[in-house]
C-alpha cells in the first residue's frame, strides 16, 4: 500500500485524478467502481473537466456502483444513484449500457445483491475501485463486525452510520444497505482510498497505526498490494 499525504482536499483530488487518468490511458475499457459522497466529489470534477477536453476519453470505460441504501427512491437526492448520476455519469455523458447499478427500490435486496455479484463475475474484476472511509472505519457499507462478508450482500447499518448527519436528513427510516463485499474490493487491481471529511480524525489516527482489525474494515487495505491511500491532512487538524 502506498500512503500519500496531501495538504488539502484540492491536492488530494488532483492526485486521485492523475492516478485514474493514467490507468484509463493504459486500458480505456477498464471497469471503474464509483463511490458516492463527498470524498470523491473533487475527483469526479476533474473527470468531468477531462471529458470536456476529450469527449471520447471515457467512452469505453465501464462503471459499477459501489453501494446503495435500501429503500430510497433512485431520484432521492440522498441516494448513491442520484449522487453518482449528477456528479459523474450525466456530466461525462456516460453510456448507461456500460453501467452496473444496485436498484434501491428492489423488493428483495438479497436477490439484487446476487444479480450484481453475477454481473461482476461476468464483467470483473474491478480495475479501479474508489473508496472513502466512514466515521467508524467502514469501507463501502462493510460495517465493523466480528466477521466481514466476501461478496455482494445486504448490510445492516451500524448505529454510528445511522446517526451521521446525512442519514438524519433523509427523512425515511433506513436500516440496510446493499454493498460490494471485501472480497470484491480486494479483487480490484487498484484501490484508491480518499481519506477526508469532518469528524474522522480519531478513526484516521487508528487507521494510521497499521493495526489490522475487522472493527476497522479500512485497516485491511494495508494488506492490498496495489492500494493508493490519499490523505487530506486537514482531517487531522
Just list the catalytic residues: 67, 136, 138, 143
Q: Are strands 190-195 and 227-232 parallel, antiparallel or unpaired?
A: parallel
Query: Which triple of cell numbers denotes residue 2?
Result: 502506498
Distance CA 138, CA 129 (A): 15
Distance CA 197, CA 185 (A): 21
Amino acid at each position: 500500500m502506498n500512503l500519500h499525504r496531501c495538504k488539502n482536499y484540492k491536492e488530494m483530488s488532483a492526485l486521485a485524478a492523475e492516478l485514474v487518468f493514467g490507468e484509463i490511458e493504459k486500458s480505456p475499457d477498464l471497469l471503474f467502481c464509483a463511490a458516492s459522497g463527498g470524498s470523491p466529489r473533487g475527483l469526479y470534477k476533474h473527470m468531468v473537466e477531462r471529458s470536456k477536453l476529450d469527449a471520447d476519453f471515457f467512452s469505453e470505460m465501464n462503471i459499477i456502483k459501489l453501494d446503495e441504501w435500501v429503500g430510497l427512491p433512485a431520484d432521492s437526492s440522498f441516494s448513491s444513484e442520484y449522487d453518482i448520476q449528477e456528479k459523474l455519469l450525466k456530466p461525462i455523458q456516460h453510456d448507461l449500457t456500460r453501467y452496473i447499478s444496485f436498484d434501491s427500490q428492489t423488493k428483495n435486496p438479497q436477490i439484487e445483491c446476487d444479480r450484481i455479484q453475477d454481473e461482476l463475475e461476468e464483467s470483473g474484476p474491478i480495475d479501479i475501485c474508489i473508496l472513502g472511509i466512514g466515521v467508524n472505519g467502514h469501507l463501502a457499507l462493510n460495517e465493523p463486525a466480528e466477521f466481514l462478508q466476501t461478496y455482494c450482500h445486504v448490510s445492516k447499518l451500524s448505529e454510528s452510520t445511522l446517526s451521521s448527519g446525512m442519514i438524519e436528513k433523509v427523512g425515511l427510516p433506513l436500516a440496510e444497505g446493499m454493498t460490494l463485499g471485501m472480497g470484491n474490493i480486494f479483487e480490484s487491481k487498484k484501490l484508491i482510498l480518499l481519506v477526508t471529511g469532518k469528524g474522522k480524525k480519531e478513526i484516521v489516527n487508528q487507521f494510521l497505526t497499521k493495526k489490522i482489525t475487522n472493527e476497522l474494515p479500512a485497516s485491511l487495505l494495508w494488506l492490498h498490494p496495489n492500494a493508493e491511500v490519499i490523505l487530506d491532512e486537514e482531517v487531522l487538524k
